[in-house]
């Protein structure tokens, strides 16, 4: 269920989680068990690849090319899993204080839960190939034209877990952080006010929403295609439980906090790159 915050659009925040040692050994062990059940190490490896690809696309948009060696090195450092992942775990653990993490791990490590997590990871990795993602989008359009019941299930899941709205909110936070990074790095006019920056960010909302919705439907349809309806219904039902809702909320909060900072750092790095060009 962690798939939601991971759009390249959502990019990212200053790694400001509490020190890892501040949590008890037992709490850290529970966090680690949950992270393994969610396959978060594999997910962060994929996100690093997504981030580096996003850095290339950003260079094309901002610099008119793939960026130089310094830019690529900075993007690689920003998406260092060794930095991002521990900070994410700290934040996730803090968000889950008092929650029933045992119930989360029990379901996610069950045969059915583990299978679904594996399908989500496999689809996420497959989507690194643009042609796979585009084919999935076309498949969803076909399901929509047929008014397929499977698409209705996915829509209900997106609504009940608040996947679209939460993703859009995180993406807007990431965009705002990127602008702040540009400003911090001196690439924005000093006369530009916070209200004007917010206006520029909000102007992107409809495009972000449309892209996020397209990605969510195609990603979830691909992930859950091997499941029968009963299996998918049970997975959705887990996220309707108190434990599932707590996990969903905590994951969104942790991704937002960690990746908003990454976005700010990308803005600062982009400002340095722009400052070194002959404009």
Question: Which tens digits make up the pLDDT trace of 234-245?
Answer: 999 999 999 999
Using CA atoms, how far apart are residues 38 and 73, in angstroms rounded to an integer?
29
Q: Quick one: residue 19, left, alpha or beta (phi over 0 = left, psi -120 to 50 = alpha)?
A: beta
pLDDT score, position 55? 94
Please check the confidence at residue 277 and state whether its pLDDT lies above 60: no
Nearest CA-CA partner of 20 in 121, 91, 78: 91
Task: Kindly give, in sequence order, each residue whose CB lies less than 8 Å from that of residue 249, ignoring residues fewer than 6 positions away.
Answer: 95
| Number of domains, the chain | 1
User: Within a 10 A sphere around the Cβ of 199, how many other Cβ atoms?
Assistant: 10
In this structure, what token pair is assigned to residue 94?
A: 């803090």
Q: pLDDT-based confidence at 278, cuts 50/70/90? A: very low
- More confident position, 7 or 262: 262
pLDDT tens track for 70-80: 999 999 999 99
% of the chain beyond a pLDDT of 90 = 81
Alpha helix segments (H runs only) across 64-126: 69-78, 81-95, 101-108, 111-126
Q: Give the pLDDT band of residue 10 (cuts 50, 70, 90).
A: very low
Asked if 81 and 50 touch (Cβ cutoff 8 Å), the reply is: no
11, pLDDT greater than 90: no
- 27-39 in b/e burial notation, b at 16+ Cβ within 10 A? ebebbebbbebbb
Tell me the whole-structure pTM to 2 decimals: 0.87
Biggest alpha carbon–alpha carbon distance for the chain: 60
Contact 153, 229 (CB under 8 A): yes
In this prediction, residue 139 carries a pLDDT of 96
SS3 246: helix
Say if residues 271 and 186 touch (Cβ distance below 8 Å). Answer: yes
pLDDT number for residue 8: 33
Q: How many CA atoms lie within 13 A of 6 on its CB side?
A: 25
CA angle (240 as vertex; 235, 245 as ends), nearest 5: 110
Residue 95: give the domain boundaries: 2-275
> What's the pLDDT band for 125 if we cut at 50, 70, 90?
very high
* Confidence bin at 22 (pLDDT 50/70/90): low
């Amino acid at each position: 269920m962690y798939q939601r915050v991971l759009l390249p659009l959502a990019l990212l925040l200053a790694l400001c989680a509490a020190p890892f040692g501040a949590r008890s050994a037992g709490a850290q062990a529970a966090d680690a068990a949950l992270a393994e059940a969610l396959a978060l190490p594999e997910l962060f490896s994929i996100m690093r690849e997504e981030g580096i690809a996003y850095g290339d696309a950003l260079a094309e948009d901002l610099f008119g090319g793939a960026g130089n060696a310094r830019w690529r090195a900075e993007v690689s450092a920003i998406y260092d899993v060794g930095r991002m992942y521990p900070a994410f775990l700290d934040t996730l653990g803090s968000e889950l204080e008092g929650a029933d993490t045992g119930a989360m791990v029990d379901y996610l490590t069950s045969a059915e839960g583990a299978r679904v997590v594996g399908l989500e990871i496999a689809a996420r990795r497959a989507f690194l190939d643009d042609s796979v993602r585009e084919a999935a989008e076309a498949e969803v359009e076909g399901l929509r034209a047929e008014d397929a019941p499977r698409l209705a299930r996915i829509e209900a899941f997106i609504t009940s877990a608040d996947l679209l709205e939460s993703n859009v909110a995180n993406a807007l936070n990431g965009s705002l952080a990127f602008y702040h990074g540009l400003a911090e790095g001196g690439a924005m006019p000093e006369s530009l006010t916070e209200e004007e920056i917010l206006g520029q960010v909000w102007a992107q909302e409809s495009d972000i929403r449309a892209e996020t919705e397209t990605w969510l439907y195609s990603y979830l349809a691909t992930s859950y295609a091997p499941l029968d309806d009963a299996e998918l219904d049970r997975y959705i039902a887990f996220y309707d439980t108190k434990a599932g809702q707590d996990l969903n909320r905590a994951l969104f909060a942790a991704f937002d906090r960690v990746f908003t900072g990454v976005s700010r750092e990308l803005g600062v790095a982009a400002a340095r790159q722009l400052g070194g060009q002959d404009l």
